Amino acid sequence: MLNKNYSLFLLISAIIGISFWIGFNVNLLPQEASINAPIYDELFKILFIIGLILFIGMSLIIIYSLFKFRRTNGQTGDGIYLEGNLKLEIIWTVIPSIIVLIVGLYSYDIYDRMGGMKELNNHEMMHSDSEKIWAGISESSNELSGIENLNIEVSAMQFAFLFNYPKGEFISGELHVPVNEKISMKMESKDVIHAFWVPEFRIKQDIIPGQPTILNFTPTKVGKYPIICAELCGPYHGGMRASIIVEEPSDYENWFNQNKKTKV
Amino acid sequence: MTILINSKNEQKESLQPKGILRYFSFSLDHKVIGIQYLVCGFLFYLVGGSLASAIRIELASPMSDFMPRDVYNQVLTLHGTIMIFLWIVPVVNGAFGNYLIPFYVGARDMAFPRLNAVAFWLIPPSGLMLITSYFVDGAAQAGWTAYPPLSITTPQSGQIIWILSVLLLGGSSIFGGINFIATILKLRRPGLKLMQLPMYCWAMLGTSILVVLSTPVLAGTLILLSFDIVANTGFFNPVLGGNVVVYQHLFWFYSHPAVYIMVLPAFGLVSEILPIHCRKPLFGYTTMVFSIMGIVVLGLVVWAHHMFTSGTPPWMRLFFTIATAFIAVPTGIKFFNWVATMWGGKISINSAILFSCGFILNFVFGGITGVALAQVPFDIHVHDTYFVVAHFHYIVYGGSVFVIFSSIYHWFPKVTGRLLNETLGILHFAITFIGFNLCFAPQHWLGLNGMPRRVAEYDPQFQLINQVSSLGALLMAISTIPFLINILLSLKNGKKAGNNPWNALTPEWLTTSPPPVENWEGEAPLVKEPYGYGNPIISKQENTKKAI
């Protein structure tokens, strides 16, 4: 009996060990290029490990049962007459409840760290107090930065994104942003629902006609990343893409000055 | 007196066509209607499957080169609509529900046989209408979700026919739901208590409650949408001051419960199949009943998890995260109970049990990604990507469709009196299981790494994984061949099954196979313990019966 318990304990430890190993060594996500990305990847890792433990465990039990309890040739009769076991049933109600609750609280914490619970303060861009701004993610601000937030107006239409830089009074088809600065975007659609998704930033927000949405983020890595429309918007939905170019602040300044309208 | 009765019977018989023809008639026999649902649903499954193959051929290359882009959108819209409304919902509810529920409650037919026939006969015309809309001016192309304003701005005829067809199918579903509730609650044979019913009755009761509560909301929403399209009203049209997010709330108030409408009956069917082939009582009957009802209640308050990126306020995102994640608890109970049912049994390894176990493995996987998707921060990245496509195919294909196949292998001898060929059955299972996992498991990675759903073209870096997925889809298409051969061969030449080939205790097996028109020659048997395998008293009774 002791031996049986011991091997069961070993097996469970092995499952947990393997799950942790896979969780930490198999990377299923694209590179991390925003403040949100490492927070997201942490949540992903935890959920991946818990999921692996449950899935490997369940699969082993099913496959084991199919072998161990299979009917051999010529065998007749029934299995044991067992209609239930209250203690067991309570255990597998309570333990999953606790896991779900912990995961829920943990993901709330992640969501808070991503700035999901922060108020969307984009007063500068609200044309009046009564204007209704719907939630996006309002990332916790990059407190170290002294430079004011970068405000960009995004408009989406079938099948393109346009980026309006109000301070420079120009519109661009590419989104240029300086690295390590908090970017604040107000997005509105001209026709149908679109979505703004940058996989490397782990952010997504629908762009809705008639309801402006706000999305804040801070890129952390210089490079060029795809902006993908994620909401079915018509025949060319698959081709509705743009690029976000994250640059060193000086490069960004150059680009901005080249494009901005010179005052007469 | 006797003469009168005889003449009545003769009249009845002369009105109902016999043989194969009765399946093409307005039959009131619940068994005939059940088979009508199943065969009709399977034909639509073949259509929906062909559309899926077309999608996977298009996605085998990164460019949009197999079909025009707008046709691609029509194909994905039709694929989703057909698979949900014409295959899974009618089959797990209509086909098996109609065939089995009257047996389980000890009745000779459903409570409202005419309504039942009407519910079925709404399906073929609306399905044909939906498919032929392609030839009118192109089918609907706004996805099965039909989000406005896209559904308002795409070609009108296709979208309106789509709405009409879904309304008729929803009506059929509501008729069926009312019928099941009435039959289960009011048509039970005297002496049979609710807590003695086979689990599938509870699953159908829960499902029917969901159908009756939520389908009317979808109907209302689609009617408003059709006003926006044909009468230029502005309920959901932002140009006229409408609100597009309200549509999403109303739509998902039906369409999330729709997942449970597809999955709860499957849970019920598995609960019937496992105990018989494992020769053990269903583990934890009472907790199973409560978990079904728990899923029904929770299932009604989780719809907004489909809208985490739609601009929902933070408190709403949190509420729906918690509610959604908690569905894992009653669902988990059911899975642990099934595993406990298998544990210590004497399991016959056959096609029915393999498909059921395949279902458990697939659904556990889909359930785990489901709990992850319920978490707002997780969902924001993968919403509307191939991760979600993979997740829900694990639920509805790996879940419901696997159970449908398992049930066909299990109840085929009941309906025809003949067994299906096991070699072909196991081959069917092996190809389906491998093909399914090869097709959908890699799609999780695609979604995580940047491939949105419903696209005809994609970043070339995803080509290899998409081709693996398409190869899996090819295997899934091939897997229907051994199944069809098996059905067609076994119908005529299958091994004779006898009345009760599985030695089952549930009531449908306690009559002849195939059953007589009114289910039992004499009085319906009173089955107080449908899962009494291994119970010394019941086996003794069985033995004495055999001796007689």
Q: Are A49 and A161 found together in one domain? A: no
Q: What is the ipTM of this complex?
A: 0.91
| A 30-59 residues with CB < 8 A to B | 30, 39-40, 43-44, 47, 51, 54-55, 58-59
Chain B residues whose beta carbon lies within 8 Å of the beta carbon of residue A65 = 339, 342-343, 345, 347
| A 220-239 residues with CB < 8 A to B | 226, 228-239
Residue B115 touches chain A, beta carbons under 8 Å: no
Chain A residues whose beta carbon lies within 8 Å of the beta carbon of residue B531 = 83
* Higher per-residue pLDDT: A2 or B75: B75
On whether residue B4 sits in a domain, the answer given is: no
Average pLDDT over residues A54-69: 93
| B 447-476 residues with CB < 8 A to A | 448-450, 452-459
* Higher per-residue pLDDT: B522 or B509: B509
Whether the Cβ atoms of residue A30 and residue A200 lie closer than 8 Å to each other? yes
On whether residue A73 sits in a domain, the answer given is: no
CATH for B58:
1.20.210.10
| A 176-205 residues with CB < 8 A to B | 191-193, 195, 197, 199, 202-205
A-interface mutation test, from B248, B295, B384, B453, most A Cβ less than 10 A away = B384
On whether residue B18 sits in a domain, the answer given is: no
CB contact under 8 A, B383 and A204: yes
Q: Are A97 and A157 found together in one domain? A: no
Q: Are A254 and A132 found together in one domain? A: yes
On whether residue A32 sits in a domain, the answer given is: yes
On whether residue A226 sits in a domain, the answer given is: yes
Helices and strands counted in chain B (H then E)? 21, 0
CB contact under 8 A, A234 and B154: yes
Helix (H, G, I), strand (E, B) or coil at B65: coil
| A 140-179 residues with CB < 8 A to B | none
Whether the Cβ atoms of residue A217 and residue A137 lie closer than 8 Å to each other? yes
CATH for A133:
2.60.40.420
On whether residue B22 sits in a domain, the answer given is: no
Measured over the CA atoms of residue B500, residue B504, residue B508 and residue B511, the dihedral's sign is positive
Residue in B257, B43, B55, B82 with CA at minimum distance from that of residue B165: B82
Residue in B64, B325, B380 closest to A103 by CB: B325
pLDDT value of position B538:
67
d(C-alpha B213, C-alpha B372), whole Å: 28
Residue in B318, B377, B458 closest to A238 by CB: B458
d(C-alpha B400, C-alpha B358), whole Å: 11
Chain A residues whose beta carbon lies within 8 Å of the beta carbon of residue B535 = 81
Residue B340 touches chain A, beta carbons under 8 Å: yes
Q: At what angle do helices A2-25 and A36-68 cross, to 10 degrees?
A: 140
CB pairs under 8 A between A and B: 282
d(C-alpha B2, C-alpha B8), whole Å: 10
CB contact under 8 A, B349 and A70: yes
**pTM for the predicted model, two decimal places:** 0.93
Q: Are A134 and A255 found together in one domain? A: yes
CA-CA distances (angstroms) from residue B286 to A85, B268, B291, B525? 11, 13, 9, 23
Chain B residues whose beta carbon lies within 8 Å of the beta carbon of residue A134 = 311-313
Nearest CA in chain B to A118: B314
Task: Give φ, ψ of A247 to 5 degrees.
Answer: -125, 165
Average pLDDT over residues B529-535: 87
Whether the Cβ atoms of residue A120 and residue A67 lie closer than 8 Å to each other? no
Instruction: Provide the shortest C-alpha distance from residue A7 to chain B (in Å).
Output: 18
CA A58 to chain centre: 27
Nearest CA in chain B to A79: B345
Q: What is the residue whose two structure tokens read 């070339």?
A: B460
Q: Which residues, 6+ apart, have CB-to-CB distance to B125 below 8 Å?
A: B168
On whether residue A53 sits in a domain, the answer given is: yes
Residue A107 touches chain B, beta carbons under 8 Å: yes
Residue A103 touches chain B, beta carbons under 8 Å: yes
d(C-alpha B34, C-alpha B30), whole Å: 6
Helix (H, G, I), strand (E, B) or coil at B526: coil
A160 HSE (CA, 13 A, CB side):
7
pLDDT value of position A111:
86
d(C-alpha A230, C-alpha A257), whole Å: 32
Split at pLDDT 50, 70, 90, the class of A128 is very low
Q: Are A157 and A106 found together in one domain? A: no
Q: Are A206 and A227 found together in one domain? A: yes
Helix (H, G, I), strand (E, B) or coil at A78: coil
Q: Based on the structure, what is the number of domains in chain A? A: 2
pLDDT tens-place string over residues A92-105: 899 999 999 999 99
Percent of chain B with pLDDT over 70: 95
Chain A residues whose beta carbon lies within 8 Å of the beta carbon of residue B143 = 232
Chain A residues whose beta carbon lies within 8 Å of the beta carbon of residue B372 = 47, 51
d(C-alpha B457, C-alpha A238), whole Å: 5
pLDDT tens-place string over residues B363-416: 999 999 999 999 988 999 999 999 999 999 999 999 999 999 999 999 999 999
pLDDT value of position B547:
44
Say if residue B359 is preceded by a cis peptide, omega within 30 of 0: no
Whether the Cβ atoms of residue A137 and residue A203 lie closer than 8 Å to each other? yes
CB contact under 8 A, B377 and A114: yes
Structure tokens that stand for B351 in this block: 């096609």
Say if residue B149 is preceded by a cis peptide, omega within 30 of 0: yes
pLDDT tens-place string over residues B70-108: 999 999 999 999 999 999 999 999 999 999 999 999 999
Q: Does residue B485 have a pLDDT over 60?
A: yes
pLDDT tens-place string over residues B105-137: 999 999 999 999 999 999 999 999 999 999 988
For A75-84, A106-115, B248-257, which range has the lowest pLDDT when averaged over its residues? A75-84
Average pLDDT over residues A69-82: 81
Whether the Cβ atoms of residue B377 and residue A110 lie closer than 8 Å to each other? yes
Q: Does residue A149 have a pLDDT over 70?
A: no
Residue A97 touches chain B, beta carbons under 8 Å: yes
* Sheet of strand A150-157, all strands in order from the earlier edge strand to the far edge: A170-172, A160-165, A150-157, A183-189, A213-217
Whether the Cβ atoms of residue B141 and residue B73 lie closer than 8 Å to each other? yes
Residue A1 DSSP symbol: -
On whether residue B19 sits in a domain, the answer given is: no
Give residue A208's identity as a one-letter amino acid code. Answer: I
Whether the Cβ atoms of residue A210 and residue A133 lie closer than 8 Å to each other? no
Residue A190 DSSP symbol: S
Residue B401 DSSP symbol: I
Average pLDDT over residues A235-263: 89
Residue where a domain stops, chosen among A79, A113, A147: A113
CB contact under 8 A, B349 and A66: yes
Residue A248's CB is within 10 A of a number of other CB atoms, namely 12
Q: Are A130 and A35 found together in one domain? A: no
Q: Are A183 and A224 found together in one domain? A: yes
Residue B463's CB is within 10 A of a number of other CB atoms, namely 15
Q: Does residue A75 have a pLDDT over 80?
A: no
Average pLDDT over residues B439-450: 96
Whether the Cβ atoms of residue A163 and residue A243 lie closer than 8 Å to each other? no
On whether residue A168 sits in a domain, the answer given is: yes
Give residue B186's identity as a one-letter amino acid code. Answer: K
Chain B residues whose beta carbon lies within 8 Å of the beta carbon of residue A92 = 332-333, 336
Q: Based on the structure, what is the number of domains in chain B? A: 1
On whether residue B200 sits in a domain, the answer given is: yes
On whether residue A74 sits in a domain, the answer given is: no
pLDDT tens-place string over residues B312-354: 777 788 889 989 999 999 999 999 999 999 998 899 999 999 9
Chain A residues whose beta carbon lies within 8 Å of the beta carbon of residue B72 = 235
Q: Are A28 and A141 found together in one domain? A: no
Beta bridge partners of A245: A176, A224
Q: At what angle do helices B328-342 and A36-68 cross, to 10 degrees?
A: 20
Which residues span the domain enclosing B129?
A: 29-543
Which residues span the domain enclosing A204?
A: 123-259
Q: Are A129 and A255 found together in one domain? A: yes
pLDDT tens-place string over residues B2-46: 344 444 444 455 456 777 888 888 889 999 999 999 999 999 999
Q: Are A59 and A130 found together in one domain? A: no
Chain A residues whose beta carbon lies within 8 Å of the beta carbon of residue B298 = none
Give residue B207's identity as a one-letter amino acid code. Answer: T
Contacts 24+ apart (CB under 8 A), B150-158: B150/A192, B150/A193, B150/A232, B150/A233, B150/A234, B151/B225, B151/B229, B152/B225, B152/B228, B152/B229, B152/B236, B152/B237, B153/A191, B153/A192, B153/A234, B154/A234, B156/B229, B156/B230, B157/B133, B158/B74, B158/B133, B158/B134
Greatest CA separation for chain B: 81
On whether residue B23 sits in a domain, the answer given is: no
Q: Integer distance in angstroms from the first to the last C-alpha of chain B?
A: 34
d(C-alpha A37, C-alpha A42), whole Å: 9
Q: Using the CB atoms, write b or e for B483-492: b if 16+ within 10 Å.
A: beebbeebee
Q: At what angle do helices B96-105 and B30-58 cross, to 10 degrees?
A: 150
| B 68-97 residues with CB < 8 A to A | 68-70, 72-73
On whether residue B16 sits in a domain, the answer given is: no
A110 HSE (CA, 13 A, CB side):
26
On whether residue B290 sits in a domain, the answer given is: yes
Split at pLDDT 50, 70, 90, the class of A262 is low
pLDDT value of position A126:
46
Q: Which residues, 6+ apart, have CB-to-CB distance to A11 below 8 Å?
A: A60
Q: Are A186 and A105 found together in one domain? A: no
